[in-house]
Chain A
Amino acid sequence: MTKEQTAIEAFNVSRSFGGVHALTGASLTARFGEVQALVGENGAGKSTLIKILGGVARPDSGTIKVRGEDVALSGPSAARALKIGTVFQELTLFPWLTVAENLFIGTEPRGRTRLIRRRLLAARAQDVFDQFAVRGIDPRELAGSLTLAQRQMVEVTSAFLHDPEILLLDEPTSALAEHDVAWLFALVRALRDRDGCVIFTSHRWAEVSSLADRITILRNGTDVATRSQLDESEAVTLMTGRTIDRLYPDRPATPRGTEVMLEAERLEGPRLRGVSFSLHRGEIVGIAGLAGQGQRELFMSLFGVNRVSRGEIRVRGVARRLKGPADAIRLGLAISFVPEDRKTEGLMLGMSVRDNLTLAVLARISRGGVIRRSREVAVATGVIDRLQIRTRNSAFQEVGELSGGNQQKVLIGRWLLIEPDILLLFDITRGVDIATKHDIYKLLAQLAEDGKAVLFYSSETEEIAKLCHRVLVIREGRIAAELAGEAADAESIVAAAIRDRHS
């Protein structure tokens, strides 16, 4: 590989999945010694293109060239033989194998008898982690017990382990906290400086502009432009075909003296060490902090998924013991989680968009226990329009066929339908494209104006700063700081999140 030589190319590549055109004549050229970003809305075909280049999907038509030569990638091993490494969007770790076993799958250390030396696995894995500066992950642990960020880091490490010359990363940062993103970017830059070629996708513009030497924009399955210089608003126009003048809507007026909807007092439980706060009608309160400081656990406890060992939760002033999510829903709470692992949490992938949307409100659209189909379709179609969920044939498409961001919208839509008074929104914009984010921001402001109380966590601090009335910064299971109004800008939030606890 030499600098500026063509590394990997796609010409006029098309691919359909069961009648859905994921790619229609997309082309891409990536060079050695460069980092190329692939951007576009959810469902624009980024993941499909990465899968084709990585050898797990085959194009219906079009050609792929690697180092200038036509190739037909018969599978991931063929891609690997060409020194192509891939981190797919759906994580591919085996949950009941150890981290070490996962890291070396297919390349296990072997003895003279060609048998795998299982005893060596953990030590070798630790060496690899040391080499790549990965800390805090025990190679002997089962992969399934890692946090999502840790799993993502293991995937990335295992892709780098095979010494790729061409590296494909599909949304590698969506699960990572800022500090881990810096770690990943250092690895990517080092590879580029060794004249490697990196193609990555991301919905965070800051990452794209800081890392990419060249940006290719996909829209509706084709590439619409490739630039080396591009500003965000132009990118958004190219991606969506419409102009979004301001990403963040006006913050609704701060409610004064409205009813307290949700209160927590000295909440203790898994990873929570005495959390107290109150949430008022019409208010958006942000929960911030570094990843894994107890934010997720707080949401789980408030929704009755995790047991609270001490402390009190009051809904509209009345102390409640939540035995499960059903209790919480009855009291008017709704929670929206980004599926930690998009494959499993929350949605029934084999069922239709309609079935998934109306699941929590079946009683309302039934008569005598029998679901009225016409009502159901009307209700589902309403949500699909309101959230602009991209489906092929209306409400009847299987959720599993939608792109990741659109699956997330279905999840949000389900909770909007039960018309809750209190919304617990956990990282709902993760992995969502910019136009959809804009839609979600507007929705959030609208909900607050309608008098809902919203508790909002996001892995992007900027969002919290721009959308929330008040921000609670969590550190090690405690509320470390409360910021409001002008004081709650992104810098102050980050500063409060990382401040040493001894100072």
Chain B
Amino acid sequence: MSASGAVGGWEQPPTKRWKQSLVQGSPVLLALLILVTLMVLYIVLFDAQLGRLPGLFEWTSVVNTGLPTALVAVGQSIVVLTRGIDLSVGGIVDVSNAFAATHIHAGAGSMLGWTLVILLYGAGAGAINGALIAYARLQPILVTLATLSIWQGVALEVLPQPGGTIPTTYTNLLANPNRPWGLVAIGAVALLWFVFRRTSLGVNVYAIGNDEYAARAHGIPVRRVKVATYALSGLLAAAGGLFLAASTTGGDPTEGNTFVLTSIAAVVLGGVSFQGGRGSALGALAGAFILTILVNVLFFANVNPLYQPFFQGLFLVIAVLLGSLLGRIIRRSSA
């Protein structure tokens, strides 16, 4: 190296491209790895208990159970990428679930019409969160905690106790118990994510999560982008409520509560950073199914259902620890 050759320090060999993608993609890879490991574990335990491999019915059930969480988690991850958090997803799932169970009747018009109304409601509810956060400058955790309670109250007003019905056609379309049509929905979400990453909105979400001040200095419409992310999260939560109603063929106005924490857990497992600006919704998607299969694994491992939360917590800590360790090793070896 001659003194005039290097700009800003020592000249370094250009980093290998695959190493770069490994550093950036390692959280998603790890989540997929955990997912596959758990699937293998599930197969082994299932076989040990029942003397046969899990069939189409079992896998379809996994897909259908995991799908609502997956949708909510994808929305949550977009909000977390901007350094926010959305607790209200639980309430939005409840309201959409309750409306579905009480209003959707057989007939294409009713099914399509109410599906659209409920999705619009979700987007609107999210936009309200976003407006309060971006324009009134309230803390995301506070705003969405408040709207969580509000929507939970509304849900109880719509459907005071578990009940209601879902037309069989609707269930067969969204959560067919015999055919894994849910995989199509997963594929669609993944595809939409790739598109999202290639839009201005996608770039802006990452920019805001990285450094909000810098984003503003680059002329990014920070407030509008924030409203859009919460609206997306609301929309996906409402979709989650619809899939939940379809797979349980009825409504439960309090079922959404679990989605608050599982969506956050899925985001964490998927390697999306709560510091914002890092990670991928695909990780959250994998995270949601990790949590779903984990329940099955614990069941077939004969864990007393009372102790299930204990093991779930233990698993979560170990998985996240593993993720941060792996990240550190990869970063060091490529530095």
Q: List the interface of chain A (C-beta within 8 A of B).
A: 54-56, 75-77, 80, 86, 88, 90-98, 101, 105-106, 108, 115-118, 134-138, 140-142, 145-147, 149-150, 153, 176-177, 179-180, 183, 290-293, 476, 497-498, 500
Which residues of the other chain, A, contact B7 by a CB distance below 8 angstroms? 134-137, 149-150, 153, 179-180, 183
> Which of A88, A141, A476 interacts with B217 by CB under 8 Å?
A88
With CB as the reference atom, state the residue of chain A lying closest to B16.
A140
Q: Given contacts A77-B219, A141-B20, could you give 6 more A-B pairs where the C-beta distance is less than 8 Å? A: A56-B216, A92-B213, A96-B209, A105-B207, A118-B197, A140-B20
* CA A97 to CA B214, docked complex, whole Å: 13
Smallest Cβ distance from B226 to chain A, in angstroms? 16
Which residues of the other chain, B, contact A177 by a CB distance below 8 angstroms? 8
B219–A76 CB distance below 8 A: yes
With CB as the reference atom, state the residue of chain B lying closest to A110.
B198
> Which of B3, B12, B23 interacts with A136 by CB under 8 Å?
B12
* CA A138 to CA B14, docked complex, whole Å: 6
Which residues of the other chain, B, contact A147 by a CB distance below 8 angstroms? 8-9
Ordered by A's residue number, 29 sampled pairs between the chains whose C-beta atoms are within 8 Å are A56-B217, A76-B219, A92-B217, A92-B218, A94-B207, A94-B211, A94-B214, A94-B215, A94-B277, A96-B206, A96-B209, A101-B203, A105-B218, A116-B197, A117-B198, A136-B9, A140-B15, A142-B23, A145-B335, A149-B7, A150-B9, A153-B8, A180-B7, A180-B8, A183-B7, A290-B3, A291-B8, A291-B9, A498-B3
A95–B217 CB distance below 8 A: no
A96–B218 CB distance below 8 A: no
* B172 interfacial contact with A, CB 8 Å: no
Which residues of the other chain, B, contact A293 by a CB distance below 8 angstroms? 10
Smallest Cβ distance from B335 to chain A, in angstroms? 8
Contact bitstring B195-207, A, C-beta under 8 A = 1, else 0: 1011110110011
With CB as the reference atom, state the residue of chain A lying closest to B202.
A116
Which residues of the other chain, A, contact B206 by a CB distance below 8 angstroms? 94, 96-97
- Which residues in window 172-221 of B have CB below 8 A to A? 195, 197-200, 202-203, 206-207, 209-211, 213-220
Given known contacts A56-B216, A106-B218, A118-B197, A292 and B8 CB-to-CB distance under 8 angstroms: yes
- Which residues in window 230-254 of B have CB below 8 A to A? none
With CB as the reference atom, state the residue of chain B lying closest to A139.
B14
* B5 interfacial contact with A, CB 8 Å: yes
Smallest Cβ distance from A292 to chain B, in angstroms? 3
A96–B277 CB distance below 8 A: yes
* CA A498 to CA B213, docked complex, whole Å: 38
B198–A116 CB distance below 8 A: yes
A136–B8 CB distance below 8 A: yes
B210–A149 CB distance below 8 A: no
Which residues of the other chain, B, contact A136 by a CB distance below 8 angstroms? 6-12
Interface of A is mostly: loop
With CB as the reference atom, state the residue of chain A lying closest to B214.
A92
- Tally of chain B residues near chain A (CB < 8 A): 40
Contact bitstring B294-321, A, C-beta under 8 A = 1, else 0: 0000000000000000000000000000
* B333 interfacial contact with A, CB 8 Å: no
* CA A413 to CA B209, docked complex, whole Å: 33
With CB as the reference atom, state the residue of chain A lying closest to B12.
A136
Smallest Cβ distance from A182 to chain B, in angstroms? 10
* CA A292 to CA B5, docked complex, whole Å: 13
* CA A150 to CA B10, docked complex, whole Å: 11
By CB atoms of chain A within 10 A, which of B195, B197, B213, B219 has the most?
Answer: B219
B203–A105 CB distance below 8 A: yes
With CB as the reference atom, state the residue of chain A lying closest to B10.
A292
* CA A180 to CA B3, docked complex, whole Å: 12
B198–A115 CB distance below 8 A: yes
A500–B219 CB distance below 8 A: no
Which residues of the other chain, A, contact B17 by a CB distance below 8 angstroms? 140
Given known contacts A94-B206, A97-B210, A118-B198, A80 and B219 CB-to-CB distance under 8 angstroms: yes
With CB as the reference atom, state the residue of chain A lying closest to B195.
A115
Which residues of the other chain, B, contact A118 by a CB distance below 8 angstroms? 197-198
B219–A75 CB distance below 8 A: yes
With CB as the reference atom, state the residue of chain B lying closest to A138.
B14
With CB as the reference atom, state the residue of chain B lying closest to A475.
B3
* CA A147 to CA B8, docked complex, whole Å: 7
Smallest Cβ distance from A74 to chain B, in angstroms? 10
Which residues of the other chain, B, contact A56 by a CB distance below 8 angstroms? 216-217
* CA A180 to CA B20, docked complex, whole Å: 26
Smallest Cβ distance from B271 to chain A, in angstroms? 12
Smallest Cβ distance from B278 to chain A, in angstroms? 5
- Which residues in window 27-51 of B have CB below 8 A to A? none
With CB as the reference atom, state the residue of chain A lying closest to B210.
A94
With CB as the reference atom, state the residue of chain B lying closest to A145.
B335
* CA A136 to CA B10, docked complex, whole Å: 8
Which residues of the other chain, B, contact A138 by a CB distance below 8 angstroms? 12, 14-15
Given known contacts A94-B277, A95-B210, A96-B277, A76 and B216 CB-to-CB distance under 8 angstroms: yes
With CB as the reference atom, state the residue of chain A lying closest to B19.
A140
By CB atoms of chain B within 10 A, which of A54, A91, A96 has the most?
Answer: A96
Smallest Cβ distance from A144 to chain B, in angstroms? 9
With CB as the reference atom, state the residue of chain A lying closest to B211.
A94
Which residues of the other chain, B, contact A88 by a CB distance below 8 angstroms? 217
* CA A95 to CA B23, docked complex, whole Å: 14
Which residues of the other chain, B, contact A141 by a CB distance below 8 angstroms? 15, 20
Which residues of the other chain, A, contact B213 by a CB distance below 8 angstroms? 90, 92
Given known contacts A56-B216, A76-B217, A179 and B4 CB-to-CB distance under 8 angstroms: yes
* CA A135 to CA B12, docked complex, whole Å: 10
Which residues of the other chain, B, contact A91 by a CB distance below 8 angstroms? 214
A135–B6 CB distance below 8 A: yes
B9–A292 CB distance below 8 A: yes
Given known contacts A108-B203, A115-B195, A115-B198, A96 and B210 CB-to-CB distance under 8 angstroms: yes
Smallest Cβ distance from B179 to chain A, in angstroms? 32
* CA A176 to CA B8, docked complex, whole Å: 7
* CA A90 to CA B220, docked complex, whole Å: 17
* CA A293 to CA B10, docked complex, whole Å: 7
Which residues of the other chain, B, contact A77 by a CB distance below 8 angstroms? 219
Which residues of the other chain, A, contact B3 by a CB distance below 8 angstroms? 179, 290, 497-498, 500
With CB as the reference atom, state the residue of chain B lying closest to A108.
B203
A96–B203 CB distance below 8 A: no
* CA A278 to CA B267, docked complex, whole Å: 52
Given known contacts A92-B214, A116-B199, A98 and B220 CB-to-CB distance under 8 angstroms: no
With CB as the reference atom, state the residue of chain A lying closest to B21.
A140
With CB as the reference atom, state the residue of chain B lying closest to A118.
B198
